[in-house]
A and B are shown apart, each in its own frame.
Chain A
């Protein structure tokens, strides 16, 4: 019953998402969707001294999108905003432990895109091409 893409860890995060839900006193929130799958992710951040103090996500969609968003919230906590801005595709792939392939990569990267949208939004900076092209 093994599946390359659906490793136990991905299914575990999908079924029991960490840092899921509403954050009442978020400093910034961002939301985006992936039109192919209809995946939706919203990230809410609390920011203190240029670092992510707390983060929550909520969303709907396929296992890859929801699990990768949840995994991202765990590594994002405590990171400086500059560190989040520097994160890329390879960071998400190493969290997942697999390359989901060209048709599903957008599902995996939606969480990172939304996280970055929130950071750029908080800083009042224009969204870079790199972020726009993630999904």
Chain B
């Protein structure tokens, strides 16, 4: 029933995901909403359970055994994250709630200390709202400007605009590694090189890349990189900010309170060393541990294999969708230039109607503006549907999806 691809054993992987056994509206679940959040393997679910059953404690300051075990597990997870994205040092990994909070951390802590009137912040038109709005707010406060690199007909960033917009006034360039709408993988290494030539930093929103392909922060040479745990088989409520320690060291704190201070007096306070300076309050211990286990899981499969598998499915889906009359796919047609996120419209069927018809067939897709309204405006569409894949998806599930698309087309255009 499930075909075995050359790179990974999908049938075996599927056995690890209890939710994939579920029926939806009497049909087997086809989960194609992975760009929103991924499903969780039993290894991750069991690790959360084990934490609460066996060693739940508040971390760092406790002297007792449970606190020691919990602290160790939490910090071990940080080391796993650091290795996974090839950070130079473990303390360059700051745990946050999600990618959004990580991006906001940079805008608030680094941005408020470094952006001045007349400075330029460069974004791209395909950014998620979480990598736009914090910068717009900062620019308004400081009298800085925000400019957007636009895309060409294929959905790739325009090279001429990259070189035109990044200049000596630019202080930071904030770019999605992979677009959550177009699937486009952006040339972040080249953009970083260009930005550095002008003394600008780069912040990479890697929420859609780290779960799906090998990501090497040091090779990329970016200054900051953000991603979420829940999109990569981990639990919700845990995210990561990677930052070069020279930047993190010189930045003021973001949130203040317990865990992040060294000393507090009535006259003021001093901060802990990295990364704790940026982790105020009791952290999401279970989340960090769960993320560590999801990283173990992905490393065992190998990120290259994950990437190859998704390319195979994406290529197949793009081919099959091309056979359906009236389908418009946004983003690159070449699977070498994208991740497994396919946004599309079918004739003039509203994206929400399409998602409802899919739901009746047990297929979970997303529809709407995907938190990327500037991109929707640029593409001149009110909304789009989106199918996005992960390691447990199969070409056979794509067939079910294609049949449902065909059904929707016939229903609306008999």
Contact = CB atoms under 8 A, between A and B. Distances in A.
A63 B353 contact: yes
B352 A6 contact: no
B246 interface: no
A61 B382 CA distance: 9
Nearest to B382: A38
B383 interface: yes
Contact of B350 (A1, A5, A62): A62
Interface in A1-57: 1, 3-6, 11, 36-38
B369 interface: yes
A38 B383 contact: yes
A37 B411 contact: no
A130 B382 CA distance: 29
A1 B352 CA distance: 19
Contacts of B412: 11, 63
Interface of A: prevailing SS: loop
Nearest to B373: A38
Contacts of B351: 62
Interface in B228-273: none
B360 A38 contact: no
Nearest to B369: A38
B368 interface: yes
A60 B410 CA distance: 21
Contacts of A64: 352-353, 356
Given A63-B353, A104-B352, A1 B410 contact: yes
A5 B354 CA distance: 11
B364 to A, nearest CB: 12
Interface string B377-414: 00000110000000000000000000000010011100
A58 B317 CA distance: 36
A1 B356 contact: no
A36 B356 CA distance: 14
A82 B357 CA distance: 37
B350 A6 contact: no
A135 interface: no
Interface centre among B352, B368, B383, B411 (most CB of A within 10 A): B352
A104 B356 contact: yes
Given A3-B360, A6-B357, A11 B350 contact: no
Contacts of A100: 356
A63 B350 contact: yes
**What class of interface size applies to chain B in its complex with A?**
10 to 19
A6 B411 contact: yes
Interface in B291-329: none
A36 B407 CA distance: 24
Contacts of B382: 38, 60
A5 B353 CA distance: 9
B357 A37 contact: no
B360 A107 contact: no
A11 B368 contact: no
Interface in B344-374: 350-353, 356-357, 360, 368-369
Contacts of A11: 411-412
Given A36-B368, A37-B383, A61 B350 contact: yes
Given A36-B368, A61-B350, A5 B356 contact: yes
A37 B350 contact: yes
A62 B353 contact: yes
A116 B111 CA distance: 47
A1 B407 CA distance: 7
A99 B368 CA distance: 21
Nearest to B406: A1
A5 B411 contact: no
Nearest to A36: B368
A41 to B, nearest CB: 14
Given A37-B368, A37-B383, A64-B352, 6 more contacts: A1-B410, A3-B357, A3-B411, A6-B353, A6-B357, A37-B352
24 contacts: A1-B410, A1-B411, A3-B357, A5-B356, A5-B357, A6-B356, A6-B357, A6-B411, A11-B411, A11-B412, A36-B352, A36-B368, A37-B350, A37-B352, A38-B368, A38-B383, A60-B382, A62-B350, A62-B353, A63-B350, A63-B353, A63-B412, A64-B353, A104-B356
Interface of A: 1, 3-6, 11, 36-38, 60-64, 100, 104, 107
The 3 A-B pairs with the shortest beta carbon distances in the complex, nearest first, are A62-B350, A62-B352, A37-B352
